[in-house]
Structure 1
Amino acid sequence: MAGLVPAIHVRQHATMHGGWVYILASAANGILYVGVTNDIVRRIYEHRNGLVPGFTKKYGVKLLVYFERYEDIQTAIQREHNIKHWSRTWKVRLILKDNPEWKDLYDTITQ
């Protein structure tokens, strides 16, 4: 399942086996970060609150603009690896396909 997922679906699967690939942005069309996790709610909370040292904290990359869920963590890790090697243009197209307004999707995964 890719892109926007109903909030109830996210809550039911947030910590199940498998994984999530996500893209954070500093602002609309801003700096991008691609990550992978087995618990998307926890991981995005950590990014948003500056609990993760490194790139996202340094550049203020906190807006959840895209995510995908995978049944298998290895598949999620491979997908993250692939997306990280895409051009910025391809990443932006992926975001725009489901989130053309660059809305912060954090509330959709925590409601």
Structure 2
Amino acid sequence: MQPAVYIMASKRNGTLYTGVTSHLPQRIWQHREGVADGFTKRYGCKLLVWYEMADTMEAAIGREKQIKAGSRAKKIALIAGSNPGWKDLYASIAQG
């Protein structure tokens, strides 16, 4: 599958989680269903509000580190730049 970096949110301007995966639809489904204990389950981060595909896992991990090192304001600006309404993007990736 294709590597991706993504941001999950509990609600608009809520708690944010940044992650990386090699199978985006499956990973987001896991977050939404709460099948694994962890940060997203504890804080209710079930909305996929931003994602970016990468050519390699190394590139995706590098981008994830860059995003995580940034401020909350930078993460919010990143989300608002492509998803100003903070819509849940899961349906757009789950179908294809």
Q: TM-score range by the shorter chain?
A: over 0.9
Q: Could you list the runs of 5+ residues in structure 1 that have no partner in the other structure?
A: 1-14
4+ long deviations beyond 6 Å: none
Aligned residue type for 1:63? L
**Aligned positions of 1:17-32 closer than 5 A:** 19-32=3-16
Q: What is the TM-score when the length of structure 2 is the normalising length? A: 0.96
CA RMSD of aligned residues (A): 0.7
Q: Could you list the runs of 5+ residues in structure 2 that have no partner in the other structure?
A: none
Matched residues in 2 for 1:84 and 1:32: separation? 10
Question: Deviations along 1:22-53, whole A, 9 cap, x unmatched?
Answer: 00000011000000000000000000000121
Aligned length: 95
Task: Tell me the secondary structure at the aligned position of residue 92 of structure 2.
Answer: helix
Matched residues in 2 for 1:106 and 1:49: separation? 12
- Residue in 1 aligned with 2:39? 55
Matched residues in 1 for 2:49 and 2:30: separation? 16
**Aligned positions of 1:62-81 closer than 5 A:** 62-81=46-65
